[in-house]
Structures are given as structure tokens and as C-alpha cells.
Amino acid sequence: MKDTKRGLETVELATEGLLAINRCGLQGKLKVWCLQFMLIPKLLWPLLVYEICSTTVEAIEAKINKFTRRWLGVPPGLTDVAMYCRKAKLRLPLKSIVEEYKCGKARLLSMLEDSEDPIVKTVQPIIKTGRKWKVVEAVYETKECLKIKEVIGQTQTDPKGLGSSTAKWWSKAEGKEKRDMVINEIRLNEDSRRVQKAVQQPQQGQWTNWDNALQKSLTWNEIWHMAPLRISFLIRSVYDLLPSNANLVRWGKKEDPTCPLCQGRQTTEHVLSSCKIALSQGRYTWRHNRVLQELAAIISTAKGETTLPNTNALIFTTEGGAKSWHGRPVRTTNQIKCLLDGCDDWDVSADLPEWDSHPSIIKETRLRPDIVIHSASTQQLIMVELTVPYENRMEEAHIYKREKYMNLTKELENAGYKAVVMPVEVGARGFVGSSVYDLLTKLSICGNKRTKALKLLAEIAENSSRWIWSRRNERFLHKD
């Protein structure tokens, strides 16, 4: 007997469920929650039990994506990478039904193959998933990939460094642990496929070049407290789908792509960071000062170093296993040497009207750092220079500000001061640069306190940019 009819019934069940959710009077984000935690789990059971091919599941996901885009308030052209990719700079808490289907089939096959029941092992049931994706081949290739990874050994895959984390090896795993390794590898392969797709998208895949921006991972708790328009703006701004004049021309909705303020080509980047009229009217300065105000308040609360135990280091072994030793213990972020160590008379000044003025040694120069942390007893100066650039220009802004203050640093050192300049960036769309993370860490602002500070800075930049976007076609009148 074939399960073709079951596949059609599952598609019909998905369609009826989506229409039922769409008819209810809830907000869009609540409809997405109902989809993720009510409808998709309901669909996964027949997809697991019956022999439904992967193309049918892809058709179901296409319907799900259509309604999800509508409920989130984004254009129908938004790529599915934006919704499901875990490596995207804006990570949404959404599950892909295709990925869950593949993981479920792989888990079922692994359980049958590893069963302790001799009858099940003898029968070796065949799980059919169609011709496009075959679970038997996928699981076999995944297991071989895990074996090859063990032969290669542990490699550095993130900025933490080699030896900062432990690895699980296929030869030492048993039972459920092996199944979990297979499932995790399948998920990694699905995510790699999404990243490859994003790299090929010149407009919606721009985030793949944001090397200096930290990932923003939204949770359902955060989404509950976000207005629908804010969710829509955040997603559309990241994937360059805001209705700028350039996009409206691309979509056939308008003929003139010029900016009504400066007559340049009005793109999302132009509105949020490059319009000359918006710059002259102080819109970008206003956003910069709002972020600077909060950053200065965060720095002023910096305390001394706190001690935490070392994390476990990786055990290194010589060839043949004749000798083994522990690597150097990994220092936690709180144990990194604090820039404020050695004295307790630090003063924080900011280039804002309501803050204390900079030290006289800084006033005598032509440059005005955004924040100066000064110690008179030890003659130490920490200069923090904030930039709120478009995310794809973070590295360029960092290099420019570092070179700009290089001569000032030398002048201060010649005058007997110990000077440090730290350029930091907070993206115009609310993505905090890694330089801000490093600054807070070096000031011993770590853990939950650092996480809250980064979220607050990102939220201020995002809200300010949303206001700038809402006034993109308005020219402010100066009062005489």
C-alpha cells in the first residue's frame, strides 16, 4: 500500500490549519507563534509515520512561508534564509518544517538500525522519502562525515581559539549520543546550504559581509514586547526590503528613484547613513548622541575586576598517546585584565552638553573624543570614539577612527600620559560591533550586565533609525 493519499491529506491539513490561524483576530506575531507551537508539531507526526516524499513537505513549507511573511509584515519576496538560518546576523526563533522532517526521518532510521531487538535488526525496514532526498543516503553520508571529522581532529571554528571547547568523537559515542550527533550534523548541513544561498543573493545576502557585527538573536520573549511595526522594520531593513524609492522602482511601483531631499539615489543605506541633507540637519548626529549618552552611562558604572574560576581546558595528547597534558586554562571574560586596574580616581567625561568637560590636556588639541576616561594620579587616558555607521562599513569606520586619533595618542604619550584609543561601532540598524563587546569586557562589564548593555545600545540605534526612516521624505525647516 502506498501513502500517496496520506500526503494529500497532510497538505490539506496544513492548508486548513493556516487558514484557520489566519482568520483569528490575533496579531501577526501571535499567529506565527500558533503556527510554530501548534500547527507544525501537529503536522510532524503524519510526516514521520507515513511515507511522504520530501517534495510534498517542501510544498507545505512554501505555504507556511507565504503566511509567515504576511503575518510578520514583510514583502512576499523575503528569502526563506531570513526565517530559518541560524547563522544569519538576525536570527529568528522559527523552525523549518522541511528540516524537522529530515531530522525526524533520520532519527527514526537510526533508532531502527541501532535497535536491540534482533527481529527489527533482521528485517531492516525501508524508509521511503522520495527521489529528491533519500534518508538512507543522507544518514550514511552524515556518519561518514563525522568519521572524517574525527580523523581531521579539532579545528578552530570561532574566535575563541583552539582548545576552548571540547569535541564529541564518533568512535567514543554510543546509542542516543550517536543519533544526536547525526541529527546535529544534518541541521548544520541545512544551515550551510542556507548560507550558500544567501551568499548568492546580492541584495538580501549583504549580511554575509558583516564580519564585525555581532549576531542579534531574537527570542519569543523579546518578540512579545516588540510592536508589529518594529518587527517589520527590523527584518526589512536587514534584508534591504524597505520601500525606498530605489526599491519601489525595482518593484515597478515608481519611476523616479531619487531622494526628495538631496536628489541622490534613495536606497536604505542612503536614508539611514548617507543623505547629505539629513546629515546637515543633524539627524545622524541626534542618533549618534542618543547612543553615546547610553554608552557613557554604561561606562560610568564600570567596576573593578571580579574573579571567576577558570573554564576547563582541552587535553592535548602526543601522537600515539604516549603523553598527554592539559592546555593552558581558558580565562573567562571577567578575568581579562581590566583597563581600570591600578587606581580608583577614574573620571568619565563625554562630548555631550550634560556631561563633564574633557581634561585640559584634551581641550588643548583639535580633536574631541566622544568619551574620555581619565585618571589624574596615574596620568592614564582611555579615549572611546563612537561611530554609528551602516553595518557593511563597520570595519572601514573602525580603521578610520583609529588612524584619526593616532597622532593625538603619540602627543599624549610624549607629554607623559599613558593613552589608549578604542574606536567602537554600533550599526545604524541596531547591530552592535564586536569592538563594543571588547570595550565592555576590558572595563570588566561582563555577563548579564554586558548582555543587557549591548541590547540597550542596539535598541536605541534601531529606534533612532526607524524615526529617521519615517521622516525620509520630510525636509525640516530651520527657525530664524
Cβ atoms of 43 and 14 closer than 8 Å: yes
Which of 170, 412, 430 has the alpha carbon at shortest distance from 294? 430
Q: What is the pLDDT along the chain (480 residues), one digit of tens a residue?
A: 577 789 999 999 999 999 999 999 999 999 999 999 999 999 999 999 999 999 999 999 999 999 999 999 999 999 999 999 999 999 999 999 999 999 999 999 998 888 888 887 777 778 889 999 999 999 999 999 999 988 988 777 766 666 666 778 888 888 889 999 999 999 999 999 999 999 999 999 999 999 999 999 999 999 999 999 999 999 999 999 999 999 999 999 999 999 999 999 999 999 999 999 999 999 999 999 999 999 999 999 875 444 344 455 556 666 665 556 555 554 444 455 678 877 778 889 999 988 878 888 888 888 899 999 998 888 899 999 999 999 999 999 999 999 999 999 999 999 888 999 999 999 999 999 999 999 999 998 989 999 999 999 999 999 999 999 999 998 876 543
Q: Which pLDDT value is given to residue 175? A: 84
Q: Give 421's strand partners.
A: 383
CA separation for the pair 222, 438 (Å, rounded):
25
CA–CA separation, 326 vs 183, rounded Å? 30
Query: For residues 432 and 452, is the Cβ–Cβ distance under 8 A?
Result: no
pLDDT at residue number 231: 97
The Cα–Cα gap between 296 and 439 comes to 12
Cell readout for 105 is 526521518
Q: 305 with 444: CB under 8 angstroms?
A: yes
As a dihedral over the C-alpha atoms of residue 166, residue 169, residue 172, residue 176, rounded to 10 degrees, the angle is 90
Q: Which grid cell is 223? A: 518578540
Distance CA 157, CA 169 (A): 16
Q: For 413-417, which contacts have Cβ atoms below 8 Å and span 24 or more sequence positions?
A: 415/361, 416/379, 417/361, 417/379, 417/380, 417/381
Q: Where do we find the cell 534584508?
A: 239
Q: Nearest to residue 332, comparing CAs of 350, 306, 303?
A: 306
Tell me how far apart the alpha carbons of residues 289 and 334 are, in angstroms, rounded to a whole number.
29
Query: Residue 349's beta-bridge partner residues?
Result: 372
pLDDT of residue 307: 38
pTM check: above 0.85:
yes
**Rg of the Cα trace of the chain?**
27
d(CA 144, CA 139): 9
Residue 348: strand pairing partners: 373
As beta bridge partners, residue 419 has: 381
Closest CA to 296 of 288, 304, 306: 288
